[in-house]
């Protein structure tokens, strides 16, 4: 298995490093701590304009359809810069689950908005029991006439205060196997 960077990946790494060094110095990170949103909106849009939000989103949804490894390269540079913002929650915790489990309609509607930086997502996974396995899902969802009513407590939902959508795991059926009967709600 070849794990060295391709020429394109090295260009991505270098351009991300240079961009973040210029646009996200420590002063920007400190200022974001005081910002109600928790990140600079201008920086978010610049990253979207670079195509970062759509990096792993397929072309058909306005993304660039690059690899998960490309995303890891970008995330490493973001970590090095201590990038403030909902990139991880939107792209990794939001867009990737939508690609796997979303309906065609959800993909057509939401993925282009993510790719263009117009939509922020997050997930609600941590519960009071601090167990993030299937057994730990205690939030319930009860079907009512045309909707579901979710009942439970989720902790540490990153960027929930600015998210347009939250993906929430809830138990819809109490079954013998604890990994069955769990539904993702948008």
DSSP the chain: ---SPPHHHHHHHHHHHHHHHHHS-HHHHHHHHHSSSSS-HHHHHHHHHTT-TTTTS-GGGTS----HHHHHHHHHHHHHHT--SSHIIIIIIIIHHHHHH--HHHHHHHHHHHHTT---EEEE-EETT---SGGG---EEEE-SSSEEEES-EE--TTTTT-SEEEEEEES---SSTTSSEEEE-
pLDDT band at 132 (very low <50, low <70, confident <90, very high): confident
Per-residue model confidence (pLDDT) at position 176: 57
Q: What is the pLDDT of residues 150-160, one digit of tens each?
A: 999 999 999 99
Whether pLDDT at 143 is above 60: yes
Per-residue model confidence (pLDDT) at position 25: 94
Per-residue model confidence (pLDDT) at position 18: 98
Whether pLDDT at 49 is above 80: yes
Q: Once rounded to an integer, what is the mean pLDDT over residues 142-171?
A: 94
What pTM was computed for the model? Answer: 0.90
Per-residue model confidence (pLDDT) at position 39: 94
Q: Once rounded to an integer, what is the mean pLDDT over residues 136-155?
A: 93
């Amino acid at each position: 298995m070849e794990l060295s960077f391709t020429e394109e990946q090295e260009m991505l790494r270098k351009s991300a490093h240079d961009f973040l060094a210029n646009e996200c110095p420590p002063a920007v990170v400190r200022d974001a701590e005081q910002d109600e949103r928790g990140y600079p909106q201008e920086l978010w849009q610049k990253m979207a304009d670079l195509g970062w939000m759509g990096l792993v989103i397929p072309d058909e949804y306005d993304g660039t359809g690059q690899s998960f490894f490309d995303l890891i390269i970008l995330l490493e540079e973001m970590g090095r810069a201590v990038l403030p913002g909902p990139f991880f929650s939107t792209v990794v915790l939001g867009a990737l689950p939508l690609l796997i489990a979303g309906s065609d309609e959800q993909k057509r509607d939401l993925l282009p908005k993510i790719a263009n930086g117009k939509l922020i997502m997050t997930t609600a996974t941590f519960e009071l029991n601090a167990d993030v396995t299937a057994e730990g899902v205690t939030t319930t969802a009860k079907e009512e006439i045309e909707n579901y009513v979710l009942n439970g407590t989720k902790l540490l939902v990153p960027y929930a205060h600015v998210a347009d959508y939250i993906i929430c795991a809830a138990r819809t059926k109490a079954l013998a196997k604890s990994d069955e009967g769990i539904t993702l709600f948008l």
